[in-house]
Amino acid sequence: MFWEDAARLADTLGPAARRDLLRVLTSPSEVRADVIRQLHERPDGQEMADLLIFLEEWEWARQGMIEELSRTKTLADSPPSPLTPPRSLARMLL
């Protein structure tokens, strides 16, 4: 996966999923690793797991994605999701 692919995938997410992705990316590394594991176990979670792995391998990309998601107007206008990061991120793929 390359930065363009990561940005394109994030752009396809709805406001709630983008908010959840931001919560995962700003979570401790143990939480991020658990989310990746959970997504790998799901048949429909591979693309999102690949995105998170890419962002883990390249800290500059993870920071850039955090900044981009933080700037997104939909995040500011949307109420916070009541779900925890691992569950909500996994559910967005349903």
Report the pLDDT value the prediction gives residue 91, as an integer from 0 to 100: 52
Provide the domain count of the chain: 1
Structural domain for 65, as ranges: 3-91
Report the pLDDT value the prediction gives residue 75, as an integer from 0 to 100: 45
| Cα separation, 43 vs 69, whole angstroms | 26
Which string of DSSP letters, residue by residue, matches 61-77?
A: HHHHHHHHHHH-HHHHH
Mean pLDDT comparison of 3-12, 72-81, 83-92, highest-scoring range:
3-12
16-25, 61-70, 79-88: which has the minimum mean pLDDT? Answer: 79-88
- Say what the alpha-carbon torsion angle 9, 26, 85, 76 is, to the nearest 10 degrees: -70
pLDDT one-digit tens code per residue, 30-70:
999 999 999 999 988 898 899 899 999 989 889 988 888 88
Burial class (CB in 10 A: 0-12, 13-18, 19+), 40: middle
